[in-house]
Structure 1
Amino acid sequence: MKTLYEFSVRRTDGTLQLMDEYKGKPLIIVNTASKCGFTNQFKELQELYEEYQNQGLVILGFPSGNFNNQEFENIDKTIEFCEINFGVTFPMFAKVHVKGKDIEPLFAFLISEKKGLLTEGIKWNFTKFLIDREGNVVERIAPQVSPLKMQRRIDQIV
């Protein structure tokens, strides 16, 4: 069975990045969408990033248009939107599929590690996966849950 660190993901410029770059760091991996009702979570994710980055926490954002096509087609527009409207400085990656036959392998792995409450697959934008320093998926947080409500759990893994 693969581990989190054996996956590679596409950066916004199209180049590959190995996930082993994040070995030993606590992570929040989240599927995002710029035109979603939960888009204000970018601000809260950025707040968490600023508060915990000195303790090693990294937030990885993966734009996706799987739910009502709520993401820009152009990744540059997505990045600009996130930076201008929410001051996002945490790493954002190329647009991915988080469900269906073209699902990003990293997200297939995350789902296999932590099933949802009512369904296996990701149900909506801003599903958050909390990863400990050893690469274990310790929690899956529903889209409607504010990232700021994750602080107690983050404190346990940083």
Structure 2
Amino acid sequence: MAEKDEKDVCENPPEIVIPQHPDCNPEFSECAHDNRISIDLVPGKCATRGADPHYKKGYELYHQGQLDDAMVELDQSARVDPERAETHLLMGDIYERRRMFDEAIREYQESLRLSPNDGSIKFKLQNAISQRSIAHRK
């Protein structure tokens, strides 16, 4: 079976919804926090192609679970390239993992403004709004 070339993999990433909390097992379909986040399975070199060094480092740190350090790099990336939707999307993911839904919603809205046709951003925004509603009821 022939492997897909980088261009095909980068332009047609698979998508899955899995738990994103450190204490949730991604093998299970349910998240202990009732908070699932859509992520892509694109290899890092595709997800960071054309990005500034701060975004690349933030992306790497995020996937290593170093959220505080990732946020510092992503904040720098947003200053360097404020029009990169992926930066705001990843910042939203970090806020959502921390259950900081107002901040996550703000970042997802900015990401959606920059990339209005992206279905995964719309999904994440709707999920964060729903999770905020659930959190406020408790």
TM-score where L is the length of structure 2: 0.34
TM-score where L is the length of structure 1: 0.31
Higher relative contact order (CA 8 A, sep 6+): 1
Question: In proportion to residue count, which structure has more strand?
Answer: 1
Larger Rg: 2
